[in-house]
Amino acid sequence: MDSLPFAQRVGIVTGGSRGIGGAITTLLAEDGATVAVLGLPEDRERAHRLASLLNGAASRLHFYETDVAVYNRCQEAVAAVLREHGRIDFLVNNAGITRDHTVRKMTVEEWEAVLRVNLSGPFFMIKAVLDTMIQQEYGRIVNISSVVGEAGNFGQANYAAAKAGLIGLTKTVALEVAKRGITVNAVAPGFIDTDMTRAMPLAAIENAIEQTPGQRLGRPEEVAEVVRFLLDERSGYITGAVYNINGGWYM
Amino acid sequence: MFEGRVALVTGGTRGIGAAITECLVESGASVAAGYSRGKENAEQFVKRLGTNGSRVTVHQGRVDDVDDCNRVVKEVMDRFGRIDYLVNNAGITVDKTVRKMTVDDWRQVLDVNLSGAFQMTKALLEHMIERGSGRIVNISSVIGETGNVGQANYAASKAGLFGFTKSLALEMAQRGITVNCVAPGFIETEMVAAIPEPVLAKVVEKIPQRRLGRPEEVARVVRFLLEDESSYITGAVYSINGGLDM
Ligand SMILES: NC(=O)c1ccc[n+]([C@@H]2O[C@H](COP(=O)([O-])OP(=O)(O)OC[C@H]3O[C@@H](n4cnc5c(N)ncnc54)[C@H](OP(=O)(O)O)[C@@H]3O)[C@@H](O)[C@H]2O)c1
Ligand SMILES: NC(=O)c1ccc[n+]([C@@H]2O[C@H](COP(=O)([O-])OP(=O)(O)OC[C@H]3O[C@@H](n4cnc5c(N)ncnc54)[C@H](O)[C@@H]3O)[C@@H](O)[C@H]2O)c1
């Protein structure tokens, strides 16, 4: 097991029990990492199911019920991971939600809910792990943004603002910790086949595929490969970058 | 990982290109490495690769010369029978402020860095289309995004590569061919060694990580984009610059 690329590494994947997060958890755990999956109550069962499917890595997946929209919960989860596993080498801010409406119809609650989970959540998590990473003089942070944060999207003002904000957060933290062995990058996926896109009306999905030059949705595993690449120890010169993976949807 | 695959890397026997060649050979590919003037260096490079050198061939040719491009591609096809990956890496600098830059200085850099990539691509695109698969990676630069004093020609050529990459990515999106850019910051090669020491010290000062990158670090990004699993990545610019330009 020591020969696996992420052997001895410990990290956190928020929303890591399904969809893109589930694929990230799977790749990393199968590559030897101990992965703390943070999620909502309904994610617990999914996390256990995911663990049972892992190729020889079930014991390396640990679930921590945590709403990333609440700073105290983030702190508690990080403290628990440190207590139980001793270090935190990587953090993947993947948990995200959508509450789609055009601005005319969007309620203030919908705006705030999305900002809180998709933008404040990553800030809370980064704040909670940063001292540890600075002490270790090592860390890898990847934030899952979205093509929508760069291009905007009809009916997604809240989501687009949160995902664009996440890029600003990424670049600023990257600057602040550049000399401390910590890299901070964003991955911006196009339309990926997960529960999030399955919740879209069929016509909207067809439209998204139509608009994608590659004429298909991406797969969660494809996004996970990019994340794993950035989390690799050898990717240390890459920081403050936004890596797109979108089948040509946005360039 | 790349067993049976064939890569053509222009400027592949020195600096970043040499690191790309080595990285791909280590991953199992056969690599045809181009060079223009450095024949001796190219031959030594193959020797240095040791047993791995048996999967590396070197090809003389100027990427700013259409006939050379076509000939090199033909040589590689004759030798290996296929080309899976094209890495347009050959590049030069002729630094002067615009006031002092001659039309010739301008043209020379555009010809090699931008037209060279176009011509090499043209020379093997039909082959990739016929096979319904291929990967093209263009080595641009952080300077293409930020500009730089004394590098109007270089910055224009490297920004031009972004436009070229994205247009070609669109044209090839349904043909199994991805086209992407890697945009390095300042990397420790002869190109950077040419920068006077006090200027270089100032450059490093501006890099948030306070160090130059290594050619091997850039090569890993290129290899990642060439993988089969990277097929949904196209028209993208992957930066690696120690935080220099965000
Ligand atoms: N070093 C950096 O900091 C940096 C940063 C960003 C981007 N880049 C880009 O990365 C690429 C490689 O740079 P490097 O630093 O490795 O440069 P380098 O060490 O100077 O190597 C340049 C290579 O290009 C080849 N070449 C030059 N003119 C050519 C022509 N007309 N036709 C064919 N080949 C030609 C050279 O071949 P010979 O050996 O025969 O001369 C050499 O192999 C360039 O495109 C450069 O713009 C470099
Ligand atoms: N699916 C796409 O097309 C797509 C495209 C671009 C970006 N993204 C982004 O990728 C990430 C993952 O998306 P997905 O498609 O896998 O979504 P998903 O809905 O399948 O999974 C999201 C996960 O996050 C969890 N989560 C939600 N709110 C949470 C909270 N407050 N605290 C903790 N966990 C919470 C959910 O329970 C779920 O497990 C999101 O940030 C999303 O915005 C997705």
Domain count, chain A: 1
Asked if the structure places residue B58 within a domain, the reply is: yes
Range of weakest confidence among A116-130, A199-213, B104-118? A199-213
Asked if the structure places residue A198 within a domain, the reply is: yes
Asked if the structure places residue B75 within a domain, the reply is: yes
Asked if the structure places residue B150 within a domain, the reply is: yes
CB contact under 8 Å between B239 and A241, yes or no, is yes
**What is the distance in A from the centroid of ligand 1 to the CA of B34?**
11
Asked if the structure places residue B246 within a domain, the reply is: no
Residue A2 has pLDDT above 80, yes or no: no
CA dihedral A144, A147, A149, A151 (to 10 degrees): 170
Residue B246 has pLDDT above 80, yes or no: no
Q: Report the predicted TM-score, pTM, of the whole model to 2 decimal places.
A: 0.95
**Partner residue opposite B232 with nearest CB, options A218, A235, A237:** A218
Query: Which residue range(s) make up the domain with B63?
Result: 6-240
Residue A93, domain CATH: 3.40.50.720
CB contact under 8 Å between B235 and A225, yes or no, is no
Q: What is the pLDDT of residues A87-120, one digit of tens each?
A: 999 999 999 999 999 999 999 999 999 999 999 9
Interface predicted TM-score (ipTM) of this complex, two decimals: 0.92
Asked if the structure places residue A3 within a domain, the reply is: no
Residue type for B104, please?
Answer: D
Residues 6+ apart with CB under 8 A from B87: B7, B8, B9, B10, B12, B17, B20, B136, B137, B138, B139, B222
Asked if the structure places residue A159 within a domain, the reply is: yes
The band of B40, judged by pLDDT with boundaries at 50, 70 and 90, is very high
> Between residues 169 and 228 of chain B, which touch chain A (CB distance below 8 Å)?
169-170, 173-174, 185, 208-210, 213-214, 217, 220-221, 224, 227
The band of A3, judged by pLDDT with boundaries at 50, 70 and 90, is confident
Asked if the structure places residue B245 within a domain, the reply is: no
CB contact under 8 Å between B224 and A251, yes or no, is no
Asked if the structure places residue B182 within a domain, the reply is: yes
Asked if the structure places residue A101 within a domain, the reply is: yes
User: Average pLDDT, stretch B2-12?
Assistant: 98
Residue B21 has pLDDT above 70, yes or no: yes
Asked if the structure places residue A192 within a domain, the reply is: yes
Asked if the structure places residue A36 within a domain, the reply is: yes
Looking at residue A1, what is its pLDDT? 52
Asked if the structure places residue B167 within a domain, the reply is: yes
Whether B85 contacts B134, CB under 8 Å: yes
Phi, psi for residue B31 in degrees, rounded to 5: -130, 130
Domain count, chain B: 1
Query: Which residue range(s) make up the domain with A117?
Result: 10-245
Residue B27, domain CATH: 3.40.50.720
Asked if the structure places residue B137 within a domain, the reply is: yes
Q: How far apart, in Å, are the Cα atoms of A98 and each of A129, B195, B204?
A: 26, 49, 42
Q: What is the pLDDT of residues B166-219, one digit of tens each?
A: 999 999 999 999 999 999 999 999 888 888 899 899 999 999 999 999 999 999
- Taking every pair of Cα atoms in chain B, the longest distance, rounded to a whole number of angstroms, is 51
Asked if the structure places residue A251 within a domain, the reply is: no
- Strands of chain A (E only): list them: 10-14, 34-39, 61-65, 90-93, 139-144, 182-189, 242-245
- A vs B, Cβ pairs < 8 A, gives 100
Residue type for A191, please?
Answer: F
Q: What is the pLDDT of residues A174-196, one digit of tens each?
A: 999 999 999 999 999 999 999 98
**Partner residue opposite B209 with nearest CB, options A214, A239, A244:** A239
Asked if the structure places residue A250 within a domain, the reply is: no
